Structure 1
Amino acid sequence: MNKINKIPVARLGYNFITAEYLPEGENEYYLRDQQYTGERNWRNLNDKEISQLTANGNMADNWNNILVSEIFDVSLVRNCKFYGLVRIGKLEPYSLEFHDVRLPVGLYNSLIISCDFGDNVIIDNVNYLSHYIIGNEAILINLNEVSVSDHAKFGNGIVKHGEKESVRIWMELCNENAGRSVLPFDGMQTGDAWLWTRYRTDDTLMQKFREFTEKKFDLRRGYYGMVGDRTVIKNSRIIKDVLIGTDAYIKGANKLKNLTINSSSDSPTQIGEGCELVNGIIGFGCRVFYGVKAVRFFLASHSQLKYGARLINSFLGDNSTISCCEVLNSLLFPAHEQHHNNSFLCAAVLMGQSNMAAGATIGSNHNSRGADGELMAGRGFWPGLCVSLKHNSKFASFTLMAKGDFPAELNIPIPFSLVSNDVSNDKLVIMPGYWFMYNMYALARNAGKYDSRDKRTFRNQYLEYDFLAPDSVNEMFTAMELMKKAVGQSWKKKEGKVISAEAAVHKGESVLEKKSSLHKTRVLIDGIENSSREVELIKVTEAYHLYKELIVYYGITQLIGLLEKEPKLNFDSLLRKLSKAERHHWNNIGGQLIPQPTLNQLIKNIHTGKIGDWDAVHEFYHQCSNNYPLQKAQHAFASMLEVKGLTAADFTKKIFLQYLSETLATKEWMSKGIYESRAKDYESPFRQMVYETEQEMEKVIGELKNNTFILQQEAELKAFREKVKELKAWVKKTRPSSRKK
């Protein structure tokens, strides 16, 4: 039976905060007065104004509780019912126009309970408007219900005074069994969610994060809902317990409940037709359109949900887009793309720059007795058409999954690889370095594309988009060791011998360094798939040497970048900045890369109380972002020395000049690879067959010679040649090194 409470009509609009939650000496409006930041030159209505308002079809439970501005055109309020304390800013004879809709300023045909209005608002046909503060020049038209409860939390994972713990909202990220749940809060960053989900055995850290969240918000009851200046809301049904920033645009929404919708003049947020959003936080500059359903979610800044997307118990990072499909229990780092109605993503951590193809199903079925599987993938994870993957699985950065139904759990520690399910031969095939060999165009273009699409106005975290960075380069070192071992074991197995792991690495390195032919050797590797079938590595020699070449390229380009930032450095001072560098393990903290020792320091500072709230955590991210260019250069230098088998003392001017030449050659090869990988799309007869002539093809897809990205790469190569020439002259001019070896 529905519980219907009967209360005297005289109490309608009053006692918003009940006596038990009202501080001594305060009235029920004390928090409302703190929230309202506009002019306070209200006055009571005079008898003539009351008479005119009544003649205009208005009524009030008590006209003494209707306060207005000094500038108040009584003719602009018609057919409204007022209950409780209502305060109205300036109403002047203007019309406001937005997206070709023009309406007169004023309050019309609405039921209004205990609200504050800024100057020159439009409130028209709002059936129920209760306990809201409406900003200047806001427009609310054709709305069924806009209300707020005294215990509204606006999407934050807190509990108000007197509430039971069971009402607290958690986001169940990464795992369907809620074992990695986090408390959402306005201002949360992807790195916060990552830390909270990963360090589950650190009880102190978990408790601190909960305390930080509680500390961030006032747990008192009685906060009003807010609609910011110039925000437009029209033709929508239910808006309850929602904070809305300035300059937002909401049209045709079905239900918005328990939300914070961040919006500003620089980064306006829009919510469109048919959307139902419950228990969430929406960042600045977001777009949510056309039948989206989202529950217990976080949408970071400048991200989009469109065309019936379903986002449940998930965190979507900055500058991401999800269209059509379903995403559950996932933590998605910035620059995630998913556009297809038949793709499905569940219980996953994708660490950015990811793209889900049509038909891809990540975690579509349980392969254990519990709903506790997980999938984790590094940056640049691309599951291809109709890929099906099982939990648990883990993938290195820039892994491309070829079309196929992968039958068992996978652990792919080799970055930049193509993973294929060879059904006819019942084996898994991995091509390390695939992107470098066959698709440099996409790899290089995506790095620039993601950076150009980063629309954040507040860049607290430095998001890494370059494919050569500390995380991916460290994975290349891991992959080279695995490749050595696999080659050594396979080489000896061909001879009918079994050797130790250490001996296999030594033998494999010898074979790979000599570039010995592996055409007659099937290179098999263990520990990749949870099955008894073979896992074969192909094009191992090519990938091994490409990894080494690109690590040197990474090292030299980062040194060049450091010199460009600090042009006063000479050769010796440059090396002093880099000589103590180590190739630490790095963590991807929500798209920001942080070395392990630095992350350890963050956790220690939280434990000791040196870092005592989320703002301090975010300031730590900011400091790490400032330090990142130098730390990345140090990592690159250490990586280059390691792959070349040198120490810092061995890095002479002669070596530097040699590596500059090698790097230029690599850049030329990359530029050529970018052109050739794109040229395939023009040369393939299967690409050409849908066009009658070459001219028609060029009209449709553009001329290869005018490809903007290729022209950009050619210009960059030309500039790089000049830079290398300058640096060689600079090295030769500087004084001889006085460093002791």
Structure 2
Amino acid sequence: MGKVNKLPLEKLGHDWVNEGNFNNKYHLESNKKKLNKLYRNLSDTEVSTLLQNQNYSPNWENILVTDTFNPNQIKNSKFYGNVRIGNISPFYLDYKDLKLPAGIYNSQIINCEIGDDNAIHHVRYMSNYITGDEVILLNINDMETSKNAKFGNGIIKEDESEDKRIWIELCNENGARPILPFDGMQATDAYIWTRNRHDIALQNKFKEITSSAFSTKGGYYSEIGNQVVIKNSNMINDVIIGDYAYIKGVNKLKNVTIHSTETAFTQIGEGCEIVNGIVGYGCRIFYGVKAVRFILSSFSQLKYGARLINSFLGDNSTISCCEVLNSLLFPAHEQHHNNSFLCAALVMGQSNMAAGATIGSNHNSRSADGEIIAKRGFWPGLCVSLKHNSKFASYSLIVKGDFLYELNIKIPFSLISTDVQNDRLIIVPGYWFLYNMYAVIRNSKKFVARDRRTMKNQYLEYDVLAPDTINEIFESLDIIEEAVGKSIYPNWASSKAEGKKILLDNQIKISQDIYLENVENSKRKVVLLKARESYNLFKKLIHHYAATQILEHLDLENSLADDILSKIHSYKNSKRKDFENLGGQIVAKEDLQQLLEDIKADKFSNWQEIHHQYHQWSADYKEEKFAHALSSLAELTQNPIEQWDITFLQKLIEESIATQQWIYDEIYKSRKKDYDNPFRSMVYENEEEMNVVIGRLEDNSFIKEEKKVLDSYKEKANIFLNILANS
């Protein structure tokens, strides 16, 4: 417990390190112009006016002002230490019906530099702050800055011990994958840091790069940017707050950096307690949120009592009501319900947690939880309970229920459910495409629309068909072939080859159950449904992936068939690469491995240089994706790229037109089922009321947009076919 010391009043404000030196304490670009600002001492007349207005300072010589200074707009306030006050003009500041005169009223200021035309009213204690221009501070109890303020970064100062360093313990409840948070950290940084824990040299290098980015000297001031409004709040300590931020009614902001600009302003509302973290641009935090040891990436939201603890939340995400602990969540994560819980998880984006979903706190040993790894598109349904450790392929949809055993789901786009009556696990591969096309395509498009990042120099992949999911599909083809072969011919050595023969021969009816192995840590059966349908679907998707990439990548204007063939044949040496989802960015594993080796070899001196590599990968990604699509089709068809001719391409594009038409038809049909289902329509008096409440099917904006996508695709495909036909 700290000791209360008693010191002479005249020393108040003069025990600060680097006393009176503001030159090395500016963080915000908006405030750096103060470096050359001209200040002067108060005149005797100004001091007299200040005294008449019930102001106090033990030494008015320490109060510096600009030439545009009006002592009549400073009343009933106390000033200690070195204080600099910017222009005070005869204006009032107006923000959302809050109207306050510029100046300082009923406040206590210690060692601060106040910007131009601030309206500071009833700030009971403000120590070691730099404020921007036109800032409103109203009714705040405590604004302190400690000598070793770190503003949410995982660093220590020169006089601090290692135990003072703040770590964020991601992905695992036992703290075995911790990272050091830092201003500017991206989901990709967090991901590569939490992996490869056995590589001590790499882990030490991450820590070294992070620590070297910050000064170990103490004495940095808290800073508030231009046009910031903070009102009716309790504690604002050790903070950097960007321009145009709006903060009202918070209980505590401590050791945080809050990014904000005019075009991406951040808001923090009533009852929030935000401690030890970084808040990105354009974030919204409202109504009783608790965030401790965290990073909240840009354009994300925490609302309605959400708890985010020891976690990283990626861009364009929302968590409301519920609790998230020890988790690394990639961009576009949605979690809205008070009774959902997420712990010790790596969730790779485009995810949605339903009400009652409990991912964590079901200890299955004498230790803390294990880990959940879920690739993008993860969707646990109502009241799902999962057991750690478990892994899920992309776009896993989990039906309501308790899953009592560890799971390893490798097939993407699957519906996963428990057949309680027969005590078995059911897997339906490709479920989204077979039965809910509307949802899977909308999932892709809505996150593109919600990506509000102002700088998109890191390419986040939202398309359902991309190198990561296509590679999972290839693995799934092998799994399905093996499962069919072993289930029908359990004693045959070449079960995979036999399974492939059966799947390719539509004359052979698959009547018996097909079983999967190594999916669930139990002795009960795991049944694969729709084996042939999903097998054919996956091959169709690979064809369509290649076709869409060809149409998107090639410049069809003034092109000849020979030019197109020459361009495609130039990729003859391409092989299908392994890719990894790094914070929403899809990267070839060989490139990632090279980056990690370069980090260990001291080829990067800071995180900005590492981020530049991410941006370079993003710039090259479309080319990488195109090469992957061509090599995927060549592998599937066993037809080398250099042997592709006009006939091959014509057939591919003609099939893709039919596939795109099928996708649109299934989008329409899967949404239409909601209108035809009597159990959905029974809550309405008649069809007319139903259309008023949920909208007419014909007016559905997503379906309309997808019709435009279909028409555009057909037009482009026909242009391509005409080029080939006229060769």
TM-score of Structure 1 vs Structure 2, range by shorter chain: over 0.9
* CA RMSD after TM alignment: 1.4
What residue identity is the alignment partner of 1:678?
R
Q: SS at 1:330's partner residue?
A: strand
Aligned with residue 635 of structure 2, among 610, 632, 642: 642
Alignment of 1:400 with 2:397, yes or no, is yes
Question: Aligned pair 1:711/2:704, yes or no?
Answer: yes
Q: Distance in 2 between matches of 1:568 and 1:75?
A: 75
Distance 2:270 2:459 in 1: 34
User: Using the alignment, how far apart are the partners of 1:379 and 1:564 within structure 2?
Assistant: 31
SS at match of 2:265: coil
Aligned to 1:262: 259
Distance between the aligned counterparts of 1:566 and 1:185, measured in 2? 47
Given that residues 182 and 210 in structure 2 are in contact (C-alpha distance below 8 angstroms), is that contact kept between their aligned partners in structure 1? yes
Mapped contact 2:554–2:564 kept (Cα < 8 A)? no
Residue of 543, 553, 562 corresponding to 2:544: 553
Residue 231 of structure 2, aligned match among 229, 234, 244: 234
- Looking at structure 2, the residues matched to 219 and 335 of structure 1 have their Cα atoms a distance apart, in angstroms, of 35
Match of 1:201 among 195, 198, 201: 198
Instruction: Measure the CA separation in 2 of the matches of 1:617 and 1:137.
Output: 37
Quote the residue 1:690 is aligned against.
683
Report how far residue 580 of structure 1 moved: 2.4
Give the gaps of 5 or more residues in structure 1: 735-741
From the superposition, tell whether residues 544 and 33 of structure 1 become closer, same or farther in structure 2 (CA, over 3 Å): closer
1:320-356, CA deviations, whole angstroms, 9 ceiling, x for partnerless residues? 0000000000000000000000000000000000000
Q: Which residue of 1 aligns with 2:694?
A: 701
Aligned partner (choices 358, 361, 364) of residue 361 of structure 2 = 364
From 614, 618, 639, give the equivalent of 1:621: 614
- The match for 2:176 among 174, 179, 187 is 179
Which of residues 445, 450, 454 is equivalent to 1:453? 450
The share of aligned pairs that are identical, in percent, is: 52
Partner of 2:315: 318
In structure 2, distance between residues paired with 1:36 and 1:583: 50
Contact 2:559 2:723 in 1 (8 A): no
Whether contact under 8 Å (1:409, 1:529) holds in the other structure is yes
Query: Distance between the aligned counterparts of 1:406 and 1:720, measured in 2?
Result: 42
Distance 1:295 1:670 in 2: 44
Deviation at 1:364, TM superposition (A): 2.6
**Correspondence for 1:374 among 365, 371, 376:** 371
1:329 is paired with a residue whose SS is strand
Contact 1:430/1:538, CA 8 A, preserved across alignment: yes
Q: State the distance in 2 between where 1:477 and 1:36 align.
A: 54
1:590 counterpart (583, 590, 593): 583
Question: Residue 64 of structure 2 aligns to which amino acid in structure 1?
Answer: L
Return the offset for 1:582.
Answer: 1.4
Partners of 2:558 and 2:333 lie apart in 1 by 36
Letter in 2 for 1:715: K
* Aligned-pair CA distance for 1:233: 0.3
Summarize the Cα distance change of 1:142–1:332 in structure 2 as closer, same or farther, 3 Å threshold.
same
Asked whether 1:6 is paired with 2:6, we answer yes
Distance in 1 between residues matched to 2:281 and 2:726, nearest whole Å: 51
The superposition leaves residues 281-301 of structure 1 with CA deviations (integer Å, 9 ceiling, x where unpaired) of 000110100000011000000
Distance 1:712 1:650 in 2: 37
Alignment partner for residue 720 of structure 2, among 713, 722, 727?
Answer: 727
1:579: how far off?
2.2
Work out which of the residue numbers 595, 599, 602 in structure 2 matches 1:602.
Answer: 595
Q: Map of 1:148-159 to 2, 5 A cutoff?
A: 148-159=145-156
Distance in 1, matches of 2:462 and 2:531, equals: 26
Give the distance between the partners of 2:701 and 2:507, measured in 1 at CA.
Answer: 40
State the distance in 1 between where 2:141 and 2:474 align. 60
1:598 and 1:541 map into 2 onto residues whose CA distance is 36
Query: In structure 2, what residue type is equivalent to 1:175?
Result: N
Deviations 1:415-470 (A, max 9, x none): 00000011111000000010010000011111110000001112231000000000
In structure 2, the gaps of 5 or more residues are: none
Aligned-pair CA distance for 1:544: 0.3
Q: Secondary structure of the residue that 2:517 maps to in structure 1?
A: coil
Residues 44 and 331 of structure 1: is their aligned pair in 2 closer, same or farther, counting only changes over 3 Å?
A: same
Is residue 650 of structure 2 the alignment partner of residue 653 of structure 1? no
Mapped to 2, the partners of 1:544 and 1:645 lie a distance apart of 17
Task: Note the C-alpha offset of 1:148.
Answer: 0.3
Q: Which residue of the other structure, out of 329, 334, 343, is the alignment partner of 1:332?
A: 329
- The answer to whether the 8 A contact 1:31-1:222 is kept is no
How far the C-alpha of 1:693 sits from its partner, in A, is 0.7
Change (3 A) 1:730 1:331: same
Give matches, 1:88-167, under 5 Å.
88-167=85-164
Q: Find the counterpart in structure 2 of residue 738 from structure 1.
A: none
Distance 1:150 1:364 in 2: 39
| Displacement after TM superposition at 1:564 (Å) | 4.1
Amino acid aligned to 1:138: V
Aligned to 1:37: 33
Question: Does 2:283 correspond to 1:286?
Answer: yes
Indicate if the aligned counterparts of 1:364 and 1:388 stay in contact, CA closer than 8 A: no
8 Å CA contact 1:125–1:142 kept in 2: the answer is yes
Return the match for 1:55 from 36, 49, 52.
52
Q: Is 2:532 the counterpart of 1:535?
A: no
Secondary structure, aligned partner of 1:714: helix
Q: TM-score, normalised by structure 2?
A: 0.97
**In structure 2, which of residues 547, 550, 553 is the aligned counterpart of residue 562 of structure 1?**
553
Cα distance in 1 between the residues matched to 2:406 and 2:26: 57
Tell me, what secondary structure is at the counterpart of 2:79? strand
SS at match of 2:257: strand
CA distance in 1 between partners of 2:376 and 2:32 (Å): 44
For 1:272, the aligned partner's letter is G
Q: 1:47 to 1:265 in 2, by over 3 A?
A: same
Letter in 2 for 1:37: K
1:522 is matched with 513
Q: Deviation of residue 173 (structure 1)?
A: 0.1
Please name the residue that 1:662 is paired with.
655
1:739 — aligned with what? none
C-alpha displacement at 1:12, in angstroms? 0.5
- Determine if contact 2:569/2:642 at 8 Å carries over to the other structure: no
Check whether the contact 1:469–1:632 (CA below 8 A) recurs between aligned residues.
yes
Alignment TM-score, normalising by the size of structure 1: 0.96
Q: Secondary structure at the match of 1:267?
A: coil
Q: Summarize deviations over 1:248-281 as a string: whole Å, max 9, x none.
A: 0000000010001111112101100000011000
- Any conservation in 2 of the 1:460–1:618 contact (CA below 8 Å)? no
Distance 1:127 1:568, change over 3 A: farther
Which of 611, 617, 623 aligns to 2:604? It is 611
Q: Which moved more, 1:640-649 or 1:103-112?
A: 640-649
- Residues 156-202 of structure 1 deviation map (CA, whole Å, 9 limit, x = unaligned): 00001110000000000000111100000000000000000011111
Matches within 5 A, 1:462-501: 462-493=459-490, 498-500=491-493
Residues 219-268 of structure 1, C-alpha deviations (whole Å, 9 max, x = no match): 11110000000000000000111111111000000001000111111210
Query: Relative to structure 1, is the Cα distance of residues 516 and 276 closer, same or farther in structure 2, using a 3 angstrom cutoff?
Result: farther
Residue 388 of structure 2 aligns to a residue whose secondary structure is: coil
* Equivalent residue, structure 2, for 1:343: 340
Q: 1:15 deviation in Å? A: 2.3
Q: How many residues align?
A: 721
Per-residue CA distance 1:198-224 (angstroms, 9 max, x = gap)? 111111211111111011111111100
Provide the rounded CA distance (Å) in 2 between the counterparts of 1:2 and 1:167: 16
Cα offset for 1:524?
0.5
2:557 and 2:418 map into 1 onto residues whose CA distance is 49
Structure 2 counterpart of 1:421: 418
The whole-number CA distance in structure 2 between the counterparts of 1:12 and 1:399 is 61
